[in-house]
């Protein structure tokens, strides 16, 4: 492939990565909470945890290991249940952070402290990784679209975007089979986990009450997805 083609493919991968990382969901809820409560590094580290799970899924998909989940409904249901319970647990923690922030009067109590005082930046990494590694929907993505990125063919990049893919079908169709596309995808994810926490931290410095509001929003998102996952698990297992 010519250099120009590689650059275009790499750029398409970045767009793909951003499109996958940006939509609201449990991962971004964790990143948002960590960012406003513990600072940019904690938010970035949380994003790194989610991306590490994606990398694990990709490597296991290449080895054919995660295909076991697709063919084992009981295992899949158990993973969904674990993920749902984790989301509900983290939702409780986010709600507690929000309560402390609102109770302070200026919305800043317990927020923005040094990572060493608040459990360290590794806390967000563990939370996001635990949620992502038990998320069967991420496994399904890497079993289908993810591995297919290295096989010769074409992919409608924006059509795979969560929630809004149907409206974006046909806007960005690229050829697959080049590692540049996959490298770009992870590059796009890195751009998001660097920029999203930075934006939240910058906004939080200007709006005192943003931190507890973001924590409350994270609690709602995580709680909603937790209930959804638990319901999905119940219909799968019983």
Q: What is the pLDDT of residues 140-166, one digit of tens each?
A: 777 777 767 767 777 676 666 655 566
pLDDT at 46: 94
pLDDT at 113 over 60: no
Measured distance CA(154)–CA(172) in Å, rounded: 10
- CB atoms inside a 10 Å sphere around CB 120: 15
How many C-beta neighbours within 10 Å does residue 73 have?
Answer: 11
**Residue in 1, 40, 15 with CA at minimum distance from that of residue 161:** 15
CA 166 and chain centroid, separation: 20
**Residue 194's pLDDT band (cuts 50, 70, 90):** very high
Q: Assign residue 53 a region: left if phi > 0, alpha if psi is -120 to 50, beta otherwise?
A: alpha
Average model confidence (pLDDT) across the chain: 78
Query: Picking from 6-15, 130-139, 142-151, 228-237, which range would have the lowest pLDDT averaged per residue?
Result: 142-151
- The pLDDT value given to residue 49: 94
**CA distances to 97, 186, 210 from 215, in Å:** 6, 27, 9
Mean pLDDT in residue range 15-43: 86
Q: Work out the average pLDDT over 41-55.
A: 93
């Amino acid at each position: 492939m010519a250099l120009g083609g590689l650059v275009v493919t790499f750029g398409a991968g970045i767009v793909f990565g951003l499109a996958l990382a940006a939509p609201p969901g449990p991962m971004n809820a964790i990143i948002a909470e960590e960012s406003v409560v513990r600072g940019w590094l904690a938010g970035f580290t949380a994003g790194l945890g989610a991306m590490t799970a994606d990398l694990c899924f990709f490597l296991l998909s290449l080895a054919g290991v995660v295909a076991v989940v697709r063919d084992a409904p009981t295992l899949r249901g158990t993973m969904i249940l674990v993920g749902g319970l984790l989301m509900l647990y983290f939702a409780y923690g986010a709600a507690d952070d929000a309560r402390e922030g609102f109770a302070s009067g200026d919305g800043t109590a317990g927020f923005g402290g040094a990572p060493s005082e608040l459990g360290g930046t590794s806390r967000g990494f563990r939370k996001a990784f635990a949620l992502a590694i038990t998320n069967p929907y991420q496994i399904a993505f890497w079993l289908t679209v993810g591995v297919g990125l290295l096989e010769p063919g074409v992919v409608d990049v924006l059509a795979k975007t969560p929630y809004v893919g149907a409206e974006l079908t046909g806007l960005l169709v690229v050829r697959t089979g080049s590692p540049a596309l996959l490298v770009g995808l992870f590059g796009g994810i890195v751009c998001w986990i660097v920029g999203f926490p930075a934006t939240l931290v910058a906004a939080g410095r200007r709006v005192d009450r943003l931190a507890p509001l973001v924590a409350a929003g994270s609690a709602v998102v995580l709680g909603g997805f937790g209930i959804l996952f638990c319901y999905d698990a119940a219909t799968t297992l019983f």
